[in-house]
Chains A and B, each alone.
Chain A
Amino acid sequence: DAMVIQNPRYQVTQFGKPVTLSCSQTLNHNVMYWYQQKSSQAPKLLFHYYDKDFNNEADTPDNFQSRRPNTSFCFLDIRSPGLGDAAMYLCATGDFTNEKLFFGSGTQLSVL
């Protein structure tokens, strides 16, 4: 059974049109992460939540926002997607020990 679920699997948006990616978990983990991964590159940490505490990476563009309304759900909002934002977006969860992350299958975002 999938424990970290990302929807949709593929998302196509238009240049400048806001888009929201969603992630849900059944693990009751404290920490939820969003990573951006471009082709043949490493996942790049955008931000993470420890419970309701939001931690933004210094080099994450302001165009990227996140919401975590409850333990189970976390959203990635891209306010004005540019062509350079086309990538795989990965959600992951972890408990407070940080000894193992559980990843969703990712959302592949295309920007036209």
Chain B
Amino acid sequence: SQQGEEDPQALSIQEGENATMNCSYKTSINNLQWYRQNSGRGLVHLILIRSNEREKHSGRLRVTLDTSKKSSSLLITASRAADTASYFCATDAGNNNDMRFGAGTRLTVKP
């Protein structure tokens, strides 16, 4: 079963703009991770945030986590056409090493 939902399902912006994607999940987590997937390829890990963290930065990426609302957001600043991809959150819900993915946001960055 999937862990949660992401919104928006699709997002289209111009190069240089910021993109914000949201993820909600259902159960308690140890950590939450964001992945990127180019069309027809495997997923690539972007960033991890632990359940006791509220915000994390990596380059142009900023992730927030609100465990009281069971939600996370991924912000990509100064977007580039090469950022066009699908973005998924994934959660480690327990001690069983199972990693489940949210529904994903399809981001299109227009040059």
Binding site for B on A (CB under 8 A): 4, 31, 33, 35, 40-45, 48, 50, 55, 57-59, 88, 90, 92, 94, 96, 98-106, 108
- Report B42-65 CB contacts with A as 1/0, cut-off 8 Å: 111100100000000000000000
Q: Are B33 and A103 in contact (CB under 8 A)?
A: no
Task: List residues of B (1-51) whose CB comes within 8 Å of A's CBs.
Answer: 1-2, 30-31, 33, 35, 40-45, 48
Interface size class of chain B, counting residues whose CB lies under 8 Å from the partner chain: 20 to 34
Say yes or no: A100-B48 contact (C-beta < 8 A), given A42-B104, A57-B1.
Answer: yes
Q: Which of B2, B31, B101 contacts A98 (CB 8 A)?
A: B31
Q: Confirm or deny: B68 has a beta carbon within 8 angstroms of a beta carbon on chain A.
A: no
What residue of chain B has the Cβ atom nearest to residue A91's Cβ?
B42
Q: How far is the CB of B89 from chain A (nearest CB, A)?
A: 9
Contacts of A43 in B (CB 8 A): 43, 88, 101
Say yes or no: A59-B104 contact (C-beta < 8 A), given A33-B99, A106-B41.
Answer: no
> Which 5 pairs, one residue from A and one from B, show the smallest C-beta to C-beta distance?
A103-B42, A42-B101, A103-B43, A100-B45, A98-B92
Q: Which of B2, B35, B41, B44 contacts A44 (CB 8 A)?
A: B2
What residue of chain B has the Cβ atom nearest to residue A49's Cβ?
B97
Q: Which of A41, A45, A59, A106 contacts B42 (CB 8 A)?
A: A106
